[in-house]
């Protein structure tokens, strides 16, 4: 159960900032989902959680290239990433019928079933917003600090940055 509530979005965003190398930056969310699948039954739902994390990494790396890294921008990126994650992963739960492999479907494939699925996810969405927005801003700020102060010499540059 702990891995279900692991702060995936803040870690993905921080990894997208910290690692200049694209393989490392995109590897953070992939590694988290692979690790999660070792401790839970692998399900196609893992792909519905991986795709928005990869999109979050893509977005934060584009924002870095545009030099939009104020605290307000970081909070906006965290909110957008969490919202995208919640929308996409809840859609996956509805589409697959459940969030665990091998279990019977909870939500019928109807509009009412989709609405019920999103309604049932609201408490989790609230928890993710309350926890992950501040944590995301903190982790992204820390990654920016580390990257500016220490990582220039030890981590390779990514192609998204202009010298």
Q: Does residue 101 have a pLDDT over 90?
A: no
pLDDT per residue as tens digits for the range 138-155: 999 999 898 887 755 445
**CA 33 centroid distance within chain:** 10
Residue 159 forms part of a structural domain: no
Q: Say if residues 74 and 136 touch (Cβ distance below 8 Å).
A: yes
Q: What is the mean pLDDT of the chain?
A: 83
Residue 160 forms part of a structural domain: no
Q: What is the pLDDT of residue 1?
A: 36
pLDDT per residue as tens digits for the range 67-86: 888 889 999 999 999 999 99
pLDDT per residue as tens digits for the range 14-67: 999 988 889 999 999 999 888 887 877 777 788 888 999 999 999 999 998 888
Residue 162 forms part of a structural domain: no
Report how far residue 77's alpha carbon sits from residue 31's, in angstroms, rounded to the nearest whole number: 21
Residue 81 forms part of a structural domain: yes
Split into its structural domains, the chain has a count of: 1
Q: Does residue 134 have a pLDDT over 70?
A: yes
Q: What is the pLDDT of residue 99?
A: 63
- What length is written for the chain? 163
- Containing domain of residue 97, as a range? 2-154
């Amino acid at each position: 159960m702990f891995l279900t509530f692991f702060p995936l979005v803040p870690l993905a965003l921080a990894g997208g900032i910290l690692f200049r190398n694209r393989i490392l930056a995109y590897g953070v969310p992939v590694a988290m989902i692979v690790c999660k699948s070792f401790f839970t039954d692998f399900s196609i739902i893992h792909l519905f959680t991986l795709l928005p994390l990869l999109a979050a990494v893509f977005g934060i790396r584009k924002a870095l290239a545009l030099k939009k890294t104020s605290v307000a921008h970081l909070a906006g990126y965290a909110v957008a990433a969490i919202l995208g994650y919640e929308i996409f992963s809840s859609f996956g739960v509805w589409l697959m019928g459940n969030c665990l492999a091998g279990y019977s479907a909870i939500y019928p494939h109807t509009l009412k079933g989709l609405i019920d699925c999103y309604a049932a996810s609201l408490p989790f969405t609230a928890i993710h917003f309350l926890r992950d927005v501040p944590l995301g801003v903190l982790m992204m700020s820390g990654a920016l600090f580390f990257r500016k102060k220490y990582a220039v010499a030890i981590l390779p540059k990514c192609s998204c940055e202009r010298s």
